[in-house]
Amino acid sequence: MDWSNVFSQALTQGIGIQAVIFCLAAIGLNVQFGYTGLLNFGQSGFLAVAAYGLGVSIAYAGWSLWVGILVGIAAAVLLALLLGIPTLRLRADYLAIVTIAAAEILRLTFRSVTFDPVFGGSDGINRFADDFYTYNPYSGPVKIGPAEFSQNDMWIVTIGWILVVILSILVFLLMRSPWGRVIKAIREDEDAVRSLGKSVYSYKLQSLIIGGVMGCFGGFIAAIALQSIQPDYYSTDLTFFAYAVLILGGAARVLGPIVGSVVFWFMLVFIDGALANAVSSGAIDFIRSDQVGQIRYWILGIALMLLMIYRPQGILGDKKELSLDAR
């Protein structure tokens, strides 16, 4: 078994494009769920509207990349307002129901034949981000230890992790400001915050908007990296993988999404590569090669369940501040 190749591929994915996308999505969820206690099950919707805002602006309106990014951010803000205004005065589970439904409605709308001339239907929007790569400073493949990236992938990874650092610093500063202290107090006891004269509804809406905008940068990275916007990429799986990343790293911790994303994708690809090599070499003869993809999720799922039982606060989380009860 070629362990060096398995480790190299796992490390490449652990710090690669997918890790960046889910890290950005989880940073947004960390603001909403980790610090505020909002159950947003439609984070994929924020990534989708940002990606389509970017793609439609460039491919159909003929605007520049930077204008497209502004359109995508505006779309994420609008979505947060549409979801938050009617639901945030109600119980937390109403927001969860509305957000997961809205994300699916958006996905089906984007792939609808009716809107095919604008959104491209199930084929999506393709080859629209060439301008981004004109700024690429890399002239060839780049190696970071055993990990290796093509020049375009390295450019995406560089920009992606810069965004992760910037947003993480912003979260750090926000949560140590008076605004952040109110947000965390709402998570603990919103009635107590309301009794002090604070508008809980307003703070929740602000948190939903900020988390949605932060998460939407994951949509930009996905769209530009793939040079394609496919509606089915933004399914509910994306949201729940982002939650897995956040819970693994530790909610209500600035570095939680980063650690969780790196560990999640490293382990997923490492398990996949190890199983595939073991099956092909005959070391494991009770698994077929076409079953490896499903079994890796079983193993990772069991590991996450054990984490929830024995360390519910995640890798970096503080049990006194926030933990998830697995019982």
Give the mean pLDDT per block of 10 residues along the chain (327 residues): 82 95 97 94 96 94 94 97 91 88 96 91 89 91 90 96 98 96 91 92 96 97 94 94 94 94 94 86 78 86 88 83 48
Looking up tokens 């956040």 gives 246
**pLDDT value at residue 310:** 87
Give dist(CA 188, CA 34) in Å, integer. Answer: 11
Beta carbons of 251 and 259 less than 8 angstroms apart? no
Give dist(CA 61, CA 108) in Å, integer. Answer: 22
**pLDDT value at residue 296:** 87
**pLDDT value at residue 322:** 59
**pLDDT value at residue 327:** 35
**pLDDT value at residue 1:** 58
**pLDDT value at residue 155:** 96
**pLDDT value at residue 304:** 87
Whole-number Cα distances in Å, 304 to 53, 261, 300, 311? 34, 13, 6, 10
End-to-end, the C-alpha distance of the chain in Å comes to 39
Domain limits of the chain? 17-234
**pLDDT value at residue 56:** 95
